[in-house]
Amino acid sequence: MKKRIFLINFVIFIFIYVYLTQISPIVPFDGDDWRYIGALRIPLPMWGVWNPTRVLPETLMSVGGYIAAFIVYPISKNYVNSLAITEAFIIALFIIIFLYSYYNLLTKRFHFSEKLSIASEIMFFISFFLLFKHLNQSSYTGFWTVDLSCAFFYLIPGLLNASVVMFLESRDTYLNDLQNSFEKGLVILILYFTLFSNTQLTIILATYCFFKICQKLIDNKWKINFSFIRFISWYGCILLIWLGTIIFDLNGERSKNVQDTNSLSLANSLNQVLHQLKIFLENQNDKILIICLSTIVVAYFFYFKQRLKINNFNKSSSISLLNIILLCLVSSILYLIVVYIKAGSQYVARPDAMWPVIFFTLFAFNISFIFLANYIKLIKIMIPLLLTLSALIAFNFNYHQIYTTNVPYSAETAKSVDNYIINQVRKADLEGKAVVKVKVPLDQENASPDVSTSNWPHSYDMATWMQNTLYSHRIIRSRIKIIFEPDKKVNKKFYENKNQQPFFPLE
């Protein structure tokens, strides 16, 4: 059976990798992508810098860039494609670890059968596509990010935090039972990069730890004794470190910049956040969302009905977890609303920036579904049909997924533009020039070199970051000065026509 589980997860991994490289490729394209893919930060939290605690994304993304440049590129001979397929491999790896952590939780903690657990794992995966699926139009997914860098700054921290939560829940006393020094060291390493990743996503682990402490306090009949202190010690340490990361981030340059530029009143900021939250909900398939929420309600209804009907119907551990998940969901929504009131309301409409909400919603739905399937024979019988129909709807690619290049252009267009820019730089470097003026697309009509961040995604300051990356990856021999010159002719040469024909459905 273990070989079968491995094979099924391997097939899912291959599908994810094909999806991220062929169906909806993630390609380095904008200023942030070229900034972080080639510049490796000191892997420590740093007081007062732009991103004080984002250690994981600012190291992992550049390590992926090194692997692409020094191992994959010499084989493939295509630099941009090497970056894309290597970073996609890393993202796919985190997704499959996340999915396997869910399977492991079902079998180790709740002792569901392996067949039912693997079916639930597949449903868990499909639901991240199904929740946002709109037929015959472009859709988001639960794994969508604005660009490549956001996959490392939002999606991967979210996946890692969620994986750690599910692992800790699958082994309720694991942290306290640790004896082996190597295991302890490995746990500390994983927790280090989990907590120093992104404070918008670490709310996943923080809320879980907080409510586990509350749950233990209630189970202990509100008594604070040695066994209680011993049980919560790890959770308490995690919470204290998390609070430390919040303090670090609040004193970073990014936070200060946001505070200086945000001139709206609290009421106006809240109003904008709620408006963006409405857009976030509208991006979801309302029928699927209703099914998810209804399944959770039905699970509670069935549980309480069984407790009244059967005297010895024990308190279900899956329902106890469901209680914690829903508390984490509500807390995450409130936390992110507070954060985005300050950071900017536009984040609220983005699936990647709201990933904790997506995770806890789908986590609650799938736990509820497997709980019902375990007791109701008809649901268990219908699972093969439900999985097949769900997959055929979720993975209907009549329309492209919403692009992850910060602009409404395909990955192939992004690769062509990247190569066009890089070839200009390489040619000048080979000619021994100290300065090169590079033609790039004109992405904003009012773009001006006086505003270094204008002409996004090919902003003027992207020239500096691209020089950094190309030099560190040994694509150019010297630190040549690059000056961007936006030109509409480049748009006409590479960007596809926006006036496209609609899709004509079969039925």
Q: What's residue 313's pLDDT?
A: 60
Residue 32: partners with Cβ closer than 8 Å, 6 or more residues away? 147, 149, 150
End-to-end Cα distance, the chain: 41
- pLDDT of 71-114, one tens digit each? 999 999 999 999 999 999 999 999 999 999 999 999 999 999 99
What is the Cα–Cα distance from 164 to 398, expressed in whole angstroms?
36
Consecutive H or E run containing 80: helix 79-108
- The two beta strands, 481-487 and 435-441, are parallel
What is the Cα–Cα distance from 322 to 326, expressed in whole angstroms?
6
What is the Cα–Cα distance from 294 to 307, expressed in whole angstroms?
20
Residue 144: partners with Cβ closer than 8 Å, 6 or more residues away? 132, 351, 352, 401, 402, 404
Taking alpha carbons only, the member of 23, 19, 38 closest to residue 92 is 19
Q: What's residue 311's pLDDT?
A: 62
Contact by Cβ (8 Å): 451, 486: no
Three-state SS string over 442-477 comes to CCCCCCCCCCCCCCCCCCCCHHHHHHHHHHHCCCCC
Token representation of residue 301: 């209804």
Contact by Cβ (8 Å): 41, 470: no
Name the region of 78 (left: φ>0; alpha: ψ -120 to 50; beta: rest). Answer: beta
Q: What's residue 327's pLDDT?
A: 98
Tell me the DSSP string of 99-153. Answer: HHHHHHHHHHTS---HHHHHHHHHHHHHHHHHTT--TTS----TT--SSHHHIII
What is the Cα–Cα distance from 9 to 101, expressed in whole angstroms?
11
Compute CA distances 488 → 239, 452, 483, 495, whole Å. 51, 19, 16, 10
Q: What's residue 79's pLDDT?
A: 98
Count of CB atoms situated within 10 Å of the CB of 317? 13
What is the Cα–Cα distance from 221 to 216, expressed in whole angstroms?
9
Count of CB atoms situated within 10 Å of the CB of 305? 11
Number of H helices, E strands in the chain: 21, 2
Taking alpha carbons only, the member of 424, 449, 442, 454 closest to residue 495 is 442
Encoded amino acid at 111, one letter: H
Burial of 456 (0-12, 13-18, 19+ CB in 10 A): middle
Q: What's residue 425's pLDDT?
A: 98
Q: What's residue 314's pLDDT?
A: 58
Residues in the chain: 507
Residue 484's φ and ψ, nearest 5 degrees, are: -80, 140
Q: How many CA atoms lie within 13 A of 257 on its CB side?
A: 8
pTM: 0.96
Taking CB atoms within 8 Å and a gap of at least 24, the contacts of 502-505 are 503/136, 503/398, 503/399, 505/135, 505/136, 505/398
Q: What's residue 312's pLDDT?
A: 57
Name the region of 112 (left: φ>0; alpha: ψ -120 to 50; beta: rest). Answer: beta
Token representation of residue 314: 């024990």
Tens-digit pLDDT profile for the chain (507 aa)?
688 999 999 999 999 999 999 999 999 999 999 999 999 999 999 999 999 999 999 999 999 999 999 999 999 999 999 999 999 999 999 999 999 999 999 999 999 999 999 999 999 999 999 999 998 788 999 999 999 999 999 999 999 999 999 999 998 777 777 778 888 899 999 999 999 999 999 999 999 999 999 999 998 888 888 888 988 999 999 999 999 999 999 999 988 887 767 777 889 999 999 999 999 999 999 999 999 999 999 999 999 888 877 765 655 678 999 999 999 999 999 999 999 998 989 999 999 999 999 999 999 999 999 999 999 999 999 999 999 999 999 999 888 778 876 778 889 999 999 999 999 999 999 999 999 999 999 999 999 999 999 999 999 999 999 999 999 999 999 999 999 999 999 999 999 887 777 777 777
Encoded amino acid at 187, one letter: V
